[in-house]
């Protein structure tokens, strides 16, 4: 009898591990497609708003800047609180058999947040010019760029309301482990955004307004699709406006620090864009390009893993399974860093080639544009690693209900980011100052979060130091080979040749990194190889049968 029980437990644990890996793979695949479409968006922006070289930088910067204040509103009001509050709370309620209670509380949360969001979206739309006038405090800011950005943003303020509703759907569906829907839903949104930019984009104020109007319509369709795809779960939730409810108040108190933490991240982006105005025209767009690139490995590898980790960790913690919590966090941290570390090394060595391979598809994206973005990207390379650690620990804190510690780290970042910007700018290192400042801020936040989380030894991850030594050795060898390869075979010539050379360098880097990791017997290398083989192998078997 005992033997059968042990077998069932072992089988359950194996199934759980497989489920985690498969879910992370599905989420990662969805994020790859989403990020690829996001890159394509930037390429189309460069083309559609770059017809006339004389005003190209003005319209590209205006389009980029038009998102910053609406995004700040979004993060101030809901932002990361949607997923990081709703998913852990509802997952814990489901794990303890309190689904009805969880659904009622989340319904109230959604209702209250929606009413507040409608009010502030209206406020932002009416007073957009006043909000964007804050950028004019930097005397180097182009007034035409600001005027265009403030007008374009009038369509983006109501857009964030529907993005919020879609994100709420995602938080609920992830609690029910409906990862496929939440992973591929954003792809629909990005495709529609691409169509809006391609069809309406142009170098007039009317064209700019039509483009952001098309993005508003895309957000509405995105929400409708997410709701309908997850209708089985979503139909339980009703409009229930009761801000005095005790469970809602407890959940809201838990959400407030997350709201502030998320808004701090967006405030830092606004601050960096403010400082970017101090440099040449096109710096805002170049900063945007670099920021988009470094966040690809961060989103695909790290966010994919934590999206699966957070509800599972919340469920284990709610069931008082501390050992399972520690094992899950250790596994998540190692798998996230195993892929983030070589990504950072490759981008640091190949920063200019990476920018050109992604964005330079015509003469409208000049070598100067590519160089500006590559300078920012070099400074961001280390942020891929530090942001990975920060995000994993933040989500772990949210999962166990300790939301004030990520807030503390966020406040530290809010103070340090502009300070580092001023220091590095005064050192005379140019645009690199901004990404260096961001990376330095991240490093300080990473240390703080690591120390505070690991105070609870029963929850702390294990075996990280030994893992990091092996991963950095493998990444260093990979980077050295890539550097030599680049010197002997530079990525020049026509686009097809350029992409072929770049692809060869990328494939060589992956083979070397995984090869060395396998020689050092790193479990993470085996995990990812088996997961990819198993995924595609099972698909092949099904096709054959």
Give a yes or no: residue 26 inside a domain: no
Residues 264 and 314 in one domain: no
Please, are residues 396 and 329 in contact by the beta-carbon 8 Å criterion?
yes
Q: Is residue 392 part of a domain?
A: no
| Structure tokens belonging to residue 79 | 């932002």
CA angle 312, 314, 315 (to 5 degrees): 65
Do 324 and 226 share a domain, yes or no?
Answer: no
- The count of domains in the chain is 2
Longest CA–CA separation in the chain, Å: 80
Q: Looking up tokens 């708003």, which residue turns up?
A: 49
**Among candidate residues 419, 450, 451, 414, the one with its CA nearest the CA of residue 436:** 419
Range of the domain at 79: 51-278
Residue 296 and residue 323 share a domain: yes
To 10 degrees, the CA torsion angle through 12, 18, 20, 22? Answer: -150
Residue 83 lies in a domain: yes
Domain co-membership, 312 together with 325: yes
Domain contains 244: yes
Q: Which of 246, 278, 310 is the last residue of a domain?
A: 278
Report the run of H or E that residue 200 belongs to, with start and end. helix 179-200
Give the whole-angstrom CA distance, residue 104 versus residue 247.
9
> What are the helix (H) ranges across 236-366?
246-276, 283-297, 304-318, 322-349, 351-359
CA–CA separation, 199 vs 191, rounded Å? 12
Residues 137 and 125 in one domain: yes
Is 242 among the domain residues?
Answer: yes
Residue-by-residue pLDDT tens, the chain, 545 positions: 444 433 443 444 444 444 555 555 555 555 566 666 666 777 787 777 766 666 667 788 888 888 888 887 777 666 656 666 776 777 777 777 777 888 888 888 888 888 888 898 899 899 888 888 877 666 666 788 888 888 988 989 999 889 888 877 777 777 776 666 666 667 788 888 888 988 888 888 888 899 999 999 999 998 888 888 777 777 787 788 888 888 888 888 877 777 777 667 667 777 777 777 666 666 777 888 888 888 888 777 787 777 778 778 887 887 788 888 888 888 889 988 998 999 999 999 988 888 888 887 777 788 888 888 888 888 888 888 998 899 899 888 888 878 788 888 888 988 898 888 888 888 877 777 888 888 899 899 999 999 999 888 888 888 888 999 999 999 999 999 988 988 888 777 677 888 888 888 889 998 999 999 999 988 888 777 776 665 555 444 444 43
pTM: 0.67
Alpha helices in 49-127 (DSSP H): 56-65, 68-77, 81, 87-95, 99-126
493 within a domain of the structure (yes/no): yes
169 and 290 co-located in one domain:
no
CA 351, 425, 422, 74 dihedral sign is negative
Q: Do residues 253 and 290 share a domain? A: no
Domain membership of residue 124 (yes or no) is: yes
Residues 272 and 291 in one domain: no
Domain boundary among 234, 249, 278: 278
Same domain (yes/no): 335, 317: yes
- φ, ψ of residue 442 to 5 degrees: the values are -60, -40
Q: Is the separation of the CB atoms in 366 and 281 below 8 Å?
A: no
For residues 268 and 286, membership in a common domain is answered with no
In a domain? residue 526: yes
Residue 407 tokens, joined: 């807030």
């Amino acid at each position: 009898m005992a033997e059968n029980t042990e077998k069932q437990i072992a089988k359950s644990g194996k199934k759980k591990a497989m489920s985690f890996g498969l879910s992370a793979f599905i989420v990662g695949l969805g994020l790859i497609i989403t990020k690829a479409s996001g890159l394509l968006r930037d390429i189309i922006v460069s083309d559609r708003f770059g017809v006339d070289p004389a005003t190209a930088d003005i319209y590209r910067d205006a389009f980029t800047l038009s998102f910053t204040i609406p995004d700040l509103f979004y993060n101030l009001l809901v932002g990361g609180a949607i997923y990081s509050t709703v998913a852990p709370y509802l997952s814990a309620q489901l794990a303890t058999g309190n689904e009805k209670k969880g659904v009622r509380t989340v319904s109230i949360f959604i209702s209250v947040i929606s009413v507040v969001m409608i009010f502030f979206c209206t406020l932002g739309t009416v007073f957009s010019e006043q909000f964007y006038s804050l950028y004019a405090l930097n005397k180097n800011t182009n007034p035409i760029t600001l005027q265009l950005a403030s007008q374009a943003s009038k369509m983006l303020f109501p857009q964030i309301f529907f993005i919020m509703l879609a994100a709420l759907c995602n938080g609920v569906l992830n609690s029910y482990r409906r990862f496929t829907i939440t992973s591929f839903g954003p792809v629909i949104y990005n495709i529609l955004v691409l169509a809006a930019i391609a069809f309406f984009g142009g170098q007039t104020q009317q064209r700019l307004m039509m483009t952001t109007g098309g993005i508003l319509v895309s957000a509405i369709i995105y929400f409708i699709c997410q709701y309908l795809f997850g209708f089985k779960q979503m139909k339980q939730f009703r409009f229930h406006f009761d801000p005095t409810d005790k469970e809602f108040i407890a959940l809201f108190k838990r959400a407030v620090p997350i709201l502030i933490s998320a808004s701090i991240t967006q405030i830092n982006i606004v601050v960096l864009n403010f400082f970017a105005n101090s440099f040449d025209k096109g710096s805002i767009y170049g900063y945007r390009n670099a920021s988009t690139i470094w966040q690809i490995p961060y989103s695909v590898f790290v966010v994919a893993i934590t999206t699966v980790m957070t509800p599972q960790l919340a469920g284990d913690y709610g069931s008082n399974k501390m050992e399972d919590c520690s094992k899950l966090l250790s596994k998540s941290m190692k798998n996230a860093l195993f892929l983030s570390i070589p990504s950072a090394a490759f981008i640091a060595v190949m920063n200019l080639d990476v920018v050109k391979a992604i964005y330079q598809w015509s003469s409208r994206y000049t070598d100067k544009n590519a160089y500006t973005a590559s300078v920012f990207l070099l400074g961001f390379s280390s942020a891929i690693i530090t942001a990975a650690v920060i995000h994993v620990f933040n989500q772990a804190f949210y999962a166990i209900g300790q939301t004030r510690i990520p807030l503390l780290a966020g406040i530290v970042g809010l103070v340090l980011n502009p300070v580092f910007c001023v220091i590095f700018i005064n050192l005379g290192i140019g645009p690199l100052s901004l990404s260096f400042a961001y990376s330095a801020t991240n490093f300080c936040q990473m240390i703080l979060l690591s120390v505070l989380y690991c105070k609870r030894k029963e929850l702390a991850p294990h075996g990280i130091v030994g893992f990091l030594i092996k991963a950095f050795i493998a990444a260093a060898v990979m980077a050295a080979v890539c550097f030599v390869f680049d010197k002997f075979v530079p990525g020049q010539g026509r686009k097809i040749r350029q992409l072929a050379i770049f692809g060869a360098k990328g494939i060589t880097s992956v083979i070397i990194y995984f090869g060395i990791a396998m020689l050092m017997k790193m479990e993470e290398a085996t995990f990812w190889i088996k997961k990819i083989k198993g995924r595609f192998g099972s698909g092949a078997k099904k096709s054959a049968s």
